[in-house]
């Protein structure tokens, strides 16, 4: 513990600095490539470029 915990702490600090500088997320963001320019004038057409999101419409 005396030897590896300082190394572990340094690794965590290095990760923190890298994550703060460049950004990091444990859950990925969906990336869609080649979005057509027509989205600028017809934003509703964007819906066809990603999988439809099934969600439960709940509320009080």
Partner 1 sequence: MNCPACRAPLETRRFEDGTEVDFCPACHGVWYDLADMSLTVAVAGEGPTERLCPRDGQQLVRGAAAGTIVTADRCPACGGLWLDAGEVQKLRAELKVDSLIGKGASQAPPPLPRPGASTAAPARRVKEAFEGIAADPRDSAYENNSDESLSPRIEHLERSYAHFQTGWPKVGFVLGEFPWRVRVGDEAQTRDFIAPPFLLSEERTGSDRTWTHGVYLEPSEVWAGFGLEGEPPARRSAAPAQPNPHDEAWSVVGLWGSLAAAAALAVFVAAMMFSKRSVVYTGTFTADPAVAEKAVVTPVFTFDGSRPASVRVRLDTNIGNSWAFFRMALVNDETDAALHFERELSYYWGREDGESWSEGSQSDVAYLSRVPPGRYYLVIDPEVPTGGVGYNVQVMWDHPRPDHLAWAWAFLLLPFAWVYLRRRSFEMARWAESDHPMVTSEDDDE
2 binds partner 1 (CB under 8 A): yes
Q: Give 38's contacts (C-beta < 8 A, 6+ positions apart).
A: 45
* Residues 32 and 49 sit within 8 Å (Cβ to Cβ): yes
39 binds partner 1 (CB under 8 A): yes
Q: What are phi and psi of 15, to 5 degrees?
A: -60, -45
Site for partner 1 in 6-35 (CB under 8 A): 6, 8-9, 12-13, 15-17, 19-25, 29-35
- If you search the block for the tokens 């444990």, which residue do you land on? 26
Contact footprint for partner 1 (CB under 8 A): 1-2, 5-6, 8-9, 12-13, 15-17, 19-25, 29-37, 39-40, 43-44, 46-47, 49-50, 53, 55, 57-60
């Amino acid at each position: 513990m005396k030897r590896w915990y300082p190394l572990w702490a340094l690794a965590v600090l290095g990760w923190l600095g890298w994550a703060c500088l460049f950004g990091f997320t444990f859950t990925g963001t969906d990336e869609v490539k080649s979005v057509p320019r027509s989205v600028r004038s017809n934003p509703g057409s964007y819906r066809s470029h990603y999988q439809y999101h099934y969600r439960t419409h709940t509320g009080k």
